[in-house]
Amino acid sequence: MKISLFQQAPYRFLPPDFERHHSSVCDTPYSLATPEGVYRSVRDFMDELMAGARAGFDGLAVTEHGQTSWDLMPNPDLAAAALAYATEAENLNVAIYPMGRSLGKSREPLRVAEEYALLDVLSGGRLVAGFPVGLSYDVSVNNGIAPIQTRPRFEENLDLVLAAWTRAEPFPWNGRFSRHPQVNIWPRPLQRGRPPVWITGVGNPNTMRTALERGFGFNYFGFYGTKLTGDRIFDRFWEIADELGMPANPYRLGFLQTIAVAETDAQAEKDYAEHRSLPGSIDIRGLEAIFRDPADFGFAAKMQTATYRELVEAGAVIAGSAETVREQLLDFFSRNRIGNLNAMLGFGSLPHELALKNVALFADEVLPHLRELWQHSGFEHHWWPERLGGAPLGELGASTGATEKAAA
């Protein structure tokens, strides 16, 4: 199993009564921020990721959000470039995983292709390329893309990125959303064929089917509660895989989970209850705009006022002692055939020192137990860089799932 440390860069110093006045998704006034608070929030975010690299995580995952206080990362490639160089300089063999470069809102897909290619070069061939379709508030409200264009724009832009990486000769591109007399990017990725591609989604069957048919990994955002949405989302994924005749290789499926580890269950509640913020907001009410999007999240009203214990009970946060956390994770991953975890260990207003403690405890007492899962399953990890132990599908598998089907 591959375990990545996933971090966002929230502004951690908003006033305590913030959620009474603002959603934090789009309307946070910048007058609430201070230069020192912004600097510390971004610096802490980078320091926590580097701590994860040194602690033995398999990958470092970052994402993209515009115009929001809960993730000060308008372009994850900026952070990923710094991480790629720093980890290469320290000989830390971790994947560099920009989980989100939203192609559904991109007006410059060739720039995305070029940036990712450069990341692969900077890291010496350690890039894992993440492409979400994009959340509607980010695509439409923050970036002015009509909702009806989001998915076709994503699909066309992804085709262009993959073609720019893999076509040997310069070629013209005459698409609906972008036109180029010549496409001939420099540099190209170091990895043979192309870097492994992951599509992140919230459970849309069309997104799952696309990932399966094209030989991509599928990563599910589990912000909403493993016990309320998890099993049925993964049942859906494997049903589609079975319809397509795909082997049930757990390595093609990833999961993002907020996790809080302490010495005991009681200590976890003491440490984290007042910092119960989930990704998406400094307070859980800030998830409201996101919850409106997917039909799978009808329990959103309950989540907006949930207590720490209710969040833990729903599985929105897996929290407790190392033993409690690893037992829950192992049970969940085994039951749902999940081969990749993106562990969110720093979140919301969590102080830097507590985030570092969470990273260290997880790395020492949880991660080694998870890594053994699927070790003897007989499956290979086709969605991870070859330099880091992956077995990429090659050029055929870069465009379809045919290679893995033939190998089964």
Q: Could you report the per-residue pLDDT of 145-167, keeping only the tens digit for each?
A: 778 888 889 999 999 999 999 99
Grade residue 258 by pLDDT with cuts at 50, 70 and 90: very high
Please tell me the predicted confidence (pLDDT) of residue 394: 63
Average pLDDT, the chain: 86
Strands 129-130 and 171-174: unpaired
User: Residue 365 is which amino acid?
Assistant: E
CA torsion through residues 118, 344, 304, 302, sign: positive
Please tell me the predicted confidence (pLDDT) of residue 277: 52
Residue in the block written with tokens 């860069």 = 9
Please tell me the predicted confidence (pLDDT) of residue 349: 84
Phi, psi of 115 (to 5 degrees): -65, -45
The tens digit of pLDDT for each residue in 174-187 reads 999 999 999 999 99
The tens digit of pLDDT for each residue in 225-245 reads 677 677 888 999 999 999 999
CA 185 to chain centre: 26
User: In sequence order, which residues have a C-beta less than 8 Å from that of residue 213 and are 6 or more positions away?
Assistant: 244, 400, 401
d(CA 197, CA 209): 14
What percentage of the chain has pLDDT greater than the value 70? 86
Grade residue 24 by pLDDT with cuts at 50, 70 and 90: low
Neighbouring CB atoms inside 10 A of 316's CB total 26
Please tell me the predicted confidence (pLDDT) of residue 66: 81
Grade residue 298 by pLDDT with cuts at 50, 70 and 90: very low
With 50 as the cut, is the pLDDT of residue 311 above it? yes
Under DSSP, is residue 9 helix (H, G, I), strand (E, B) or coil? coil
Average pLDDT over residues 305-317: 80
401: its two tokens: 């799932």
With 50 as the cut, is the pLDDT of residue 199 above it? yes
83: its two tokens: 């991480």
Grade residue 25 by pLDDT with cuts at 50, 70 and 90: low
What does the domain layout of the chain look like in residue ranges?
2-407
Select, from the ranges 292-296, 312-316, 332-336, the one with the highest average predicted confidence (pLDDT): 332-336
Grade residue 279 by pLDDT with cuts at 50, 70 and 90: very low
Please tell me the predicted confidence (pLDDT) of residue 300: 46
The tens digit of pLDDT for each residue in 118-143 reads 999 999 999 999 998 877 767 777 77
Between residues 402 and 180, the one the model is more confident about: 180
With 60 as the cut, is the pLDDT of residue 406 above it? no
Select, from the ranges 101-105, 291-295, 304-308, the one with the highest average predicted confidence (pLDDT): 101-105
Nearest in space to 303 (alpha carbons), one of 254, 313, 329, 167? 313
User: In sequence order, which residues have a C-beta less than 8 Å from that of residue 225 and are 6 or more positions away?
Assistant: 299, 303, 311, 314, 315, 316
d(CA 245, CA 260): 38
Grade residue 274 by pLDDT with cuts at 50, 70 and 90: confident
CATH topology of domain 2-407: TIM Barrel (3.20.20)
Grade residue 360 by pLDDT with cuts at 50, 70 and 90: very high
With 70 as the cut, is the pLDDT of residue 96 above it? yes
Q: Which stretch of 69-78, 177-186, 376-385 has the lowest confidence by average pLDDT?
A: 69-78
What is the value of pTM for the model shown?
0.90
* Strand ranges in 217-279 using DSSP code E only, listed in sequence order: 217-221, 253-262
Under DSSP, is residue 204 helix (H, G, I), strand (E, B) or coil? coil
Neighbouring CB atoms inside 10 A of 298's CB total 11
Answer whether 40's CB lies under 8 Å from 95's CB: no
287: its two tokens: 């998830």
Cis before 187? omega within 30: yes
Neighbouring CB atoms inside 10 A of 31's CB total 6
